[in-house]
Amino acid sequence: MKKGEREKVFSLLENSLSISSEYQFLILDKMEKIFSSAGDYEKYGEMLKKRLEENDYSPQIYLAYCKFLRKTGKKDEAVIKLKEFLARFPEQPQAMMLLGDIFLEEEHIDEAVEFYRKLSRRGVNTKKPFVCTNCGYRVDEMVWRCPKCGKWDSVKYMPEIE
């Protein structure tokens, strides 16, 4: 993809973030892949930071920014942001898992265990299950058409609570 085309796609995806919060995680994933493959990953992080500074406290934006910080080696900053995030959204298993993973990478075993225990006490499955609203079929990643019943746009993100 040429730079001008990439900029146009990025702009369209960025505008889409404001339209649909339901699919933000998909849009953010696509944006991350485009800019990572183009060697322009910092631009992705700048966009996320800007949205947070403009008070876009969407959980998906916050988590994407924390993942960006982790991947770019700014783990201390990621930990601070994740703790802020958990103060605002205390029931977010993805944030607890990410924080536990960072602590484990940094060999802070006690802190990692603390967050993994919080996850297990809540009984939340930390995978990202997608469920067909038509037939109930579960898949591990987003698809636009259910592999079982064939219905289009019926697969939705639904974290499983045990």
The span from the CA of 85 to the CA of 145, in Å, is: 33
Task: Kindly state the DSSP code that residue 21 receives in the 8-state scheme.
Answer: S
Domain assignments of the chain as residue spans, ordered by start = 1-72, 73-124, 127-162
- Say which residue, 161 or 129, is predicted with more confidence: 129
User: Are 130 and 141 within 8 A, CB to CB?
Assistant: yes
The span from the CA of 154 to the CA of 133, in Å, is: 5
pTM score, whole prediction: 0.69
What is the pLDDT, as a whole number, of residue 159?
A: 61
Closest CA to 28 of 17, 20, 39: 17
What is the pLDDT, as a whole number, of residue 21?
A: 67
The span from the CA of 116 to the CA of 98, in Å, is: 10
Closest CA to 79 of 60, 94, 98: 98
DSSP 3-state of 38: coil
104-110, long-range: CB within 8 Å, 24+ apart, which pairs?
105/75, 106/75
What is the pLDDT, as a whole number, of residue 80?
A: 94
Q: Report residue 138: phi and psi, to 5°.
A: -110, 140
Q: How confident is the model at residue 75 (pLDDT cuts 50, 70, 90)?
A: very high
What is the pLDDT, as a whole number, of residue 45?
A: 92
For residue 48, give both structure tokens: 């996320």
Closest CA to 101 of 66, 60, 125, 65: 66
Average pLDDT, the chain: 82
What is the pLDDT, as a whole number, of residue 161?
A: 41
Query: CA dist 133 to 71, 139, 152, 158, Å?
Result: 34, 12, 10, 10
